[in-house]
Amino acid sequence: MSSGLTFKLHPLVMVNISDHHTRVKSQMYATNGGDDISRVFGCVIGIQRGRTVEIFNSFELLYHPASHSLDRPFLDKKQQLYKKVFPSFYILGWYSTGGEAQESDMQIHKSLMDINESPLYVLLNPAINHAQKDLPVTIYESELHVIDGIPQLIFVRSNYTIETVEAERISVDHVAHLKPSDGGSAATQLAAHLTGIHSAIKMLNSRIRILHHHLLAMQRGDIPCENSLLRQVSSLLRRLPAIESVKFQDDFLMEYNDTLLMTYLAMFTNCSSTMNEVVDKFNTAYDKQSRRGGRTAFI
């Protein structure tokens, strides 16, 4: 039996976990052909009101496979950063990818009990199953059971519902339409932009490979050495450390701060809209009572 808590999962959490898995899978495929697809790990954050637990967001964590443990200094740093932006959010538990919960997962689960005495475990199955209609997401709670006279913690499945706000519905709908249309053109401007970037990176990678093979052939003596080409390559390589300059760091931080500012403004706008709806409902509910008592309605 579960604890009786009501879990509400926001789509942003699933999008974050899927994006985390996709990026790790792409890196693994680029390095070793995708033979070893590692699991991804992170924390889920949100709020708990009474018996209702609402999972709003998540962030990535560093995992040490040898010790089956998380990088705690990195976790503490990320927690402090999120506290500055979302002071009402708390670490509710952690997430990972896979088909079923594994024995080593309990070790990670126990290591987070000093942050949350009853953490939850969100497991996303990245395998595509077209016959499955439900979301491939499972939420586990931990319960203490006595097995063969020994108290042990085990994972127990819990039910959950999907909770969305207007901004999330728009974002999820936008992401869902990021696919080519029947005519071959991208469905959205963002998809067209990403397709162009992908083509440019692919072309750059192809030209670098050609240049690399050509240099190796000159080193082996298969083709004559071209000093002019070597000078051009050397000049190009000397330009690479330019991105470590102070100007680059200043420009990067400026762009980064502008992006954070836009995110904060969007959050404040959403909060103001929600507050306005609450005030309108309050005025509608107590307008008659306020008039009878001779008092002014809340504005």
**pLDDT by residue (tens digit) across 156-175?**
898 999 888 777 777 666 66
Residues 122 and 210 in one domain: no
Q: Assess if residue 141 is contained within a domain.
A: yes
From CA 298, how far away is CA 19, in angstroms rounded? 44
Number of H helices, E strands in the chain: 7, 10
Tokens of 290: 């306020």
Q: Going by DSSP bridges, is the β-strand pair 120-124/90-97 parallel, antiparallel, or unpaired?
A: parallel
Share of the chain above pLDDT 90, in %: 11
Residue 201 has pLDDT above 60, yes or no: yes
Q: Which of 124, 146, 176 delimits the end of a domain?
A: 176
Q: What is the pTM of this model?
A: 0.58
pLDDT on residue 293? 55
CB-based contact 166:183 (threshold 8 Å): no
Structural domain harbouring 119: 6-176
The reported pLDDT for the residue numbered 188 is 57
Confidence of residue 139 (pLDDT cuts 50, 70, 90): very high
Task: Answer whether residue 214 is part of any domain.
Answer: yes
Q: Do 113 and 119 meet the contact criterion of CB atoms below 8 Å apart?
A: yes
Pick from 176, 197, 220: which residue ends a domain? 176
288 is a domain residue? no
